[in-house]
Structure 1
Amino acid sequence: MEARPGGRSARVRDAVRQATLVELAENGYGGLTMEGVASRSGVHKTTVYRRWGSPEGLIADALELAGSEPWPIPDTGSLRDDLRGIVELVRSGFADPVAGPIASAFVSAAVQGSGPAQALHAFFASRHEQAAPVVERAIARGEVPPGTDAAELIRLAVSPVYYRLFITHEPVTERDAERAADAALAAARAGVLRE
């Protein structure tokens, strides 16, 4: 008899993670409950409480899953277009009717507790690492100075999206996304973002 990959524990964790994402999509952070996740996942409520402890624990674990997903980083041959593509990925992700509420719930949860905050930090570190080749290619092409900090450039490019969504509660248009990318590119070209 062949061993099942991951076993029961992995199946339980996957079921709970997927149920957490669906609950977040449907109910947002404020509506995420241990009971709802247990019911949707088919995992006994006491198991969910014992392994995840709280909605914040569920979110931290789901963020770990999200961080392991590959990010479709553009490779257009132009840093300007690559940055615009990255910022548009973020903008359209929040605008998506299914993914948007989940992403917003992750950010909301990070403000509420240290577990989700640490998980969100790790998520962004993974995204910055995945996006680093965009900047490395641009340095090799001479588009930005050597030593340009890749993580800082990506952070600067996407920050206006988060500011508008979570601080000023303004819509973010495609033009807003392009302007954010272009401003970050101008800063990088000026040498402001060197390590």
Structure 2
Amino acid sequence: MAQRAPETDDEQPVAAPGPRKRTGGRSARVREAVLTATLEQVAEHGIEGLTIGDVAARAGVAETTIYRRWGTRTALIAEAVTELAAVGNPAPDTGALRTDLLVLAEQISHLITRPGIARLVGTTIALSADPEVDAARRKFWNDRFERSSQVITKAVERGELPATVRPRDVLETLSAPLYFRLLVGDEPLDDAFIARCIDDTLTLHGTGAD
């Protein structure tokens, strides 16, 4: 009997493909849908009128999906607003402090004049006695200050601000009047007011230079 020729590489049995790795695409879509639904519910009903059930129905997911990922309504709202503030609002780097502050002020203005956001900010302040609400509020502000602090750090490196300045102090000086005017004064955040906030910030922290 003739011997069978040895198998070549082409004749070797092909191993069955392993399980395909999940890319997380569906998870990302679910997250986006839930956070979007959360902001829409807040805009329509405020934080006090938002329920996990309503968010789940609007996002097209099960309530258990939301509870499993976020745990509580407050944690969900905190992430939704933090994401809103971060997306599309990168820290500016125009090469000059004044124009960087202008971009930051415009970002803040656009954020807090969105439907429902002013109401949300006011409610979180009113509910600060609630530890979970207070923790969510602090996380939001800390994230915002951390993202924006590089603007001040670069201005110090360029000699536009003294080395002793605290980035948070500069950012608070710029942003506090914007929130006060909207939440307390109920007046528009127009270009003239934003320019005044920038001038006051530069003067207070050591430079009026362009």
What TM-score bracket applies, with the shorter chain setting the length? 0.7 to 0.9
Residue pair 1:109, 1:117 contacting (<8 A) in 2 also: no
Q: Is the 8 A contact 2:75 2:136 kept in 1?
A: no
Question: Which sections of structure 1, spanning at least 5 residues, go unmatched?
Answer: 191-195
Partner of 2:172: 155
Q: 2:165, 2:60 → 1: CA distance?
A: 48
Asked if 1:101 corresponds to 2:118, the answer is: no
Q: Which has the larger radius of gyration?
A: 2
> C-alpha displacement at 1:160, in angstroms?
0.3
Name the counterpart of 2:145. 128
Alignment of 1:106-121 (within 5 A): 106-111=120-125, 112=127, 113-121=130-138
Higher mean C-alpha displacement, 61-70 vs 101-110 = 61-70
- Other structure's SS at 1:101 match: coil
Is 1:175 paired with 2:192? yes
- Counterpart Cα distance in 2 of 1:45 and 1:65: 21
Query: Structure 1 residues 117 and 46 mapped into 2: Cα distance closer, same or farther (>3 Å)?
Result: same
The structure where helix makes up a greater share of residues is 1
Shift of 1:154: 0.8
CA distance in 2, matches of 1:6, 1:15: 14
Once the two structures are TM-superposed, the CA of residue 134 in structure 1 deviates from its matched residue by 1.6
Whole-angstrom CA distance in 2 between matches of 1:140 and 1:12: 42
What amino acid sits opposite 1:24 in the alignment? V
Residue pair 1:83, 1:181 contacting (<8 A) in 2 also: yes
- Of 126, 137, 147 in structure 1, the residue corresponding to residue 154 of structure 2 is 137
Task: State how many pairs are aligned.
Answer: 186
Question: Cα RMSD over matched residues?
Answer: 2.8
String of CA shifts for 1:83-105, please: whole Å, max 9, x gaps.
Answer: 1221121112223xxxx125324
Corresponding position of 2:105: 87
* 1:68-83 → structure 2 map (5 Å cutoff): 69=87, 71-83=89-101
Which amino acid in structure 2 is aligned with residue 35 of structure 1? G
Do the aligned partners of residues 8 and 89 (structure 1) sit closer, same or farther apart at CA in structure 2, a change above 3 Å counting? closer
> Under a length normalisation based on structure 2, what TM-score does the superposition of the two structures give?
0.73
| 1:12-39 deviation digits (Å, cap 9, x = unpaired) | 5554323212222344334422331121
